[in-house]
Amino acid sequence: MTIKFIIPILLTVVLCFYIFAPECKLKDAEAVQLSKKFCKLVNASVDSEPWVLSSKKGSINSTDEVKEVVVGPRGTFKLSIDIGCKDKQIKMFQNIGVRDYVFLKYHISRDNRKARQWPQALSENKAKELLFQKANLIGLPPDVKFKSIILDKQYNGVWIATWVRTLNSFPYENDFVSISIMAIDGELFSYNRFFSGEPCPTKVKVSENAAKEIAKRKIQSILSQKNALNYIVASTDLKIVQPNAFLGIFTPFSRHKSRLAWVFRFNRYIGANNIAEGNLPDFIIIKVDAATGKVIGGKSAK
């Protein structure tokens, strides 16, 4: 089956998914009450009655809709909270008013293309202490593990902590929780919870070397054997992923049945002996099922 036939099939499947997706059963009144409860929990100021702005898809690959609750008039929101229609969990919280107050108080430009003069930020140790306090207050899922803390001075001026979801010590590729605080005073700015994976078997039956050879053969089938020689393995991970291969073609749409997979990133080698023919991607990611050896996903990009 050629790609010109595959693309219309994929578009039809996605369109049907959106048309026939179940309606959000979370009532507006309940969504407002849940948002108030969360704001009270994290001590976020609510100076006017929250209201439901819309129901929307959480992401292109999400099966769950969310209700977006906001505080403040349209165009000047102070708070924004996304609540899952199925599980009624807080998926996203953003305290826009806190950020705007800090920017105004310290005369920080909202245009991130301009140089910004940031006041002294909290130390990393102090920020981490405050972030863990916020995490304990909110109550993180039991299957997440702390990953990192970074300082963002380009966009919102925040310290961001990230926790990754795991199963039997294997990380989910895209599932995470993040919390951010204003780097100047430690006020909570945002909370995000993105879970798209499902529990799956985690027994490894295919070795790393065997999976690597399978991945190399897949690159050969995509590019040609000669062009495949231009790629070297840059990283190898064992992760729980969402398969995105459809009839052998990598797509932007992933299935929700998770699988443990060897994930290989191949970078294009550029040097004196480069034998590239044509316009090749800078990197290629191949995902090989750790139990079956089947290529179940991947992507490439310039």
By C-alpha distance, which of 191, 195, 179, 188 is closest to 81? 191
Is the confidence at residue 259, as pLDDT, over 80?
Answer: yes
Is the confidence at residue 2, as pLDDT, over 90?
Answer: no
Tokens of 118: 């940031």
pLDDT digits (tens, 9 = 90+) for 181-203: 999 999 999 999 999 999 999 99
97-196 CATH = 3.10.450
Cβ neighbourhood burial of 177 (10 Å; 0-12, 13-18, 19+): buried
Is the confidence at residue 61, as pLDDT, over 90?
Answer: no
- In CATH, which of 3.30.420, 1.10.3470, 1.10.10, 3.10.450 is domain 208-301? 3.10.450
Helix or strand holding residue 158 (H, E): strand 158-167
Percentages of the chain per state (helix, strand, coil), in multiples of 5 = 25, 35, 40
Instruction: Kindly give, in sequence order, each residue whose CB lies less than 8 Å from that of residue 281, ignoring residues fewer than 6 positions away.
Output: 268, 300, 301, 302
Distance of CA 121 to the CA centre of its chain: 26
* pTM, to two decimals: 0.86
pLDDT digits (tens, 9 = 90+) for 225-245: 888 888 999 999 999 999 999
Tokens of 205: 């039956």
Instruction: Report d(CA 233, CA 207) in Å as an integer.
Output: 16
Instruction: Report d(CA 166, CA 176) in Å as an integer.
Output: 9
Amino acid identity, position 49: E
By C-alpha distance, which of 252, 248, 281 is closest to 267? 281
Q: What is the pLDDT of residue 1?
A: 44
Within the chain, all domains assigned CATH 3.10.450 are found at 97-196, 208-301
Which region among 3-7, 39-43, 65-69, 77-81 has the lowest average model confidence (pLDDT)?
A: 3-7
Is there a contact between 280 and 228 (Cβ–Cβ < 8 Å)? no
pLDDT digits (tens, 9 = 90+) for 19-41: 445 578 899 999 999 999 999 99
Model confidence at 277, pLDDT cuts 50, 70, 90, reads low
